[in-house]
Amino acid sequence: MTIDVHGHITSPELFRRFPMPPSLADVDGMVELKAAAGITTSLVGSPVGAGTMVRTPGLDNYRQPADALERFHDWLGEQVRARPAALRGYVYANPLGSDAELAAADERLAQPEFVGLMVNSSVAGRFLDVPQADSFFALAARHRAPVLLHPPAEPAGAGELRDLRLVEQIARPCDVTLGTAAVLFAGWLEKYPDLRIVAPVCGGGLPLLLERLELARRMPPGFGRPGGGPAGGPTATPPAPLAGVLSRVYVDTATPSLRAIAAAVDAFGPGNVLFGTDSPPMSAPLDASLARLDGLGLDPAALARIRHGNAAELFGLPAGTDRPTPPMRDREVLP
């Protein structure tokens, strides 16, 4: 079996309203294609809620109507219930959103169809190392819901890029790199021991930058700022060594680069790498995504962990095909 932790689908309502790749609207087609490749379960959601990743004049993904987002989650839950062996859902939330927005996400996470949160690695150019993110990370930790830090439609600093190909293939992985580093640097994982994060596309460039991030964490908190005051994260004191929290940082393999996957396995270990395709909407052949894992030269046990074991444990999914898929159950929520 194989579990794909990174996929997207969209509702007919949103497909009619916004420009989107047709593959996002073909749920049955996605399930059939993945089953033919040996991918038995996909975790799906939207990185823009009831919006779109395509640049659309006048659209602000962070100011979408609450009722539109509710309808999207209702629809997503229906897709999971109709295909319980093949799908689980992510709840979309704005991690810097209002109390009402977070309360809606809180209610969705109580539904067994949803096993994690899909949020943006930056929000309108701001990263998640600001105090406003505290309530969101507290929510995720209380539900023990893994947080996938998906790049936004408009990555930080990408507004000056005229070529959308650079936005799609370069700026978005860079946003994941800096966005994940900001979360690590801010100390949210130290503050919330039940918090776990997933950085897609192999964590962007983070596997090559962990040593530099550790050096940055050893610098004085006020380094380089007028007055030297703290940046405003959850702690004003230097955090513990990075190694202490890396066990709760996962990366997925949604990249065409074997080199990047190998670097991610080397940096995070095979126990923290999850199989992911970003499909839909990415159209790369699914069998090629699986074949890249074989090119890593790992032993069968490590490959099995990447293909399904790590995701099954992290998201509370069935661990193998030798047992029938159990009914979806409520996840324990901490008081």
pLDDT at 335: 37
pLDDT at 163: 87
Q: Which among 275, 279, 278, 283 is positioned nearest to 253, based on CA atoms?
A: 275
CA gap 120, 128 in Å, rounded: 9
pLDDT at 334: 38
Is residue 184 one of the residues assigned to a domain? yes
Is residue 326 one of the residues assigned to a domain? no
Domain CATH for 62: 3.20.20.140
CA gap 246, 234 in Å, rounded: 18
Is residue 333 one of the residues assigned to a domain? no
Q: Which residues pair with 147 in a beta bridge?
A: 117, 197
Instruction: Note the pTM of the prediction, 2 decimals.
Output: 0.89
Q: Residue 227: how many CB atoms within 10 A of its CB?
A: 5
Is residue 216 one of the residues assigned to a domain? yes
Domain count, the chain: 1
User: What burial class does residue 235 get, using C-beta atoms within 10 Å of its C-beta: 0-12 exposed, 13-18 middle, 19+ buried?
Assistant: middle
> Could you tell me if 199 and 178 are in contact, meaning their C-beta atoms sit under 8 angstroms apart?
no
Backbone angles phi, psi at 42, to 5 degrees: -125, 135
232 torsion bin: left (phi>0), alpha (psi -120 to 50), beta (else): left
pLDDT at 72: 95
pLDDT at 298: 96
Is residue 266 one of the residues assigned to a domain? yes
Q: Which among 134, 143, 116 is positioned nearest to 45, based on CA atoms?
A: 116
> Could you tell me if 2 and 290 are in contact, meaning their C-beta atoms sit under 8 angstroms apart?
yes
CA gap 166, 163 in Å, rounded: 6
> Could you tell me if 3 and 43 are in contact, meaning their C-beta atoms sit under 8 angstroms apart?
yes
Q: Residue 234: how many CB atoms within 10 A of its CB?
A: 17
Is residue 133 one of the residues assigned to a domain? yes
99-109 helix and 66-82 helix, angle to the nearest 10 degrees? 10
Is residue 328 one of the residues assigned to a domain? no
CA gap 21, 99 in Å, rounded: 32
Per-residue model confidence as pLDDT tens for the chain (335 residues): 999 999 999 999 988 888 888 888 899 999 999 999 999 999 999 999 988 877 777 778 898 899 999 999 999 999 999 999 999 999 999 999 999 999 999 999 999 999 999 999 999 999 999 999 999 999 999 999 999 999 998 889 887 888 888 988 899 999 999 999 999 989 999 999 999 999 999 999 999 999 999 998 888 776 666 665 445 555 555 567 788 899 999 999 999 999 999 999 999 999 999 999 999 988 778 999 999 999 999 999 999 999 999 999 999 998 754 333 444 544 443 33
Would you call 118 helix, strand, or coil by DSSP? strand
pLDDT at 54: 78
Which residues are CB-contacts of 55 (< 8 A; sequence separation ≥ 6)?
A: 153, 154, 164
Backbone angles phi, psi at 19, to 5 degrees: -70, 125
pLDDT at 211: 94
Can you give the residue range of the structural domain that contains 219? 3-315
Tokens standing for 234? 């959850």
Q: How far apart are the first and last CA of the chain?
A: 34
Residue corresponding to tokens 């004085």? 220
Is residue 322 one of the residues assigned to a domain? no
Q: Which residues pair with 273 in a beta bridge?
A: 251
Would you call 243 helix, strand, or coil by DSSP? helix
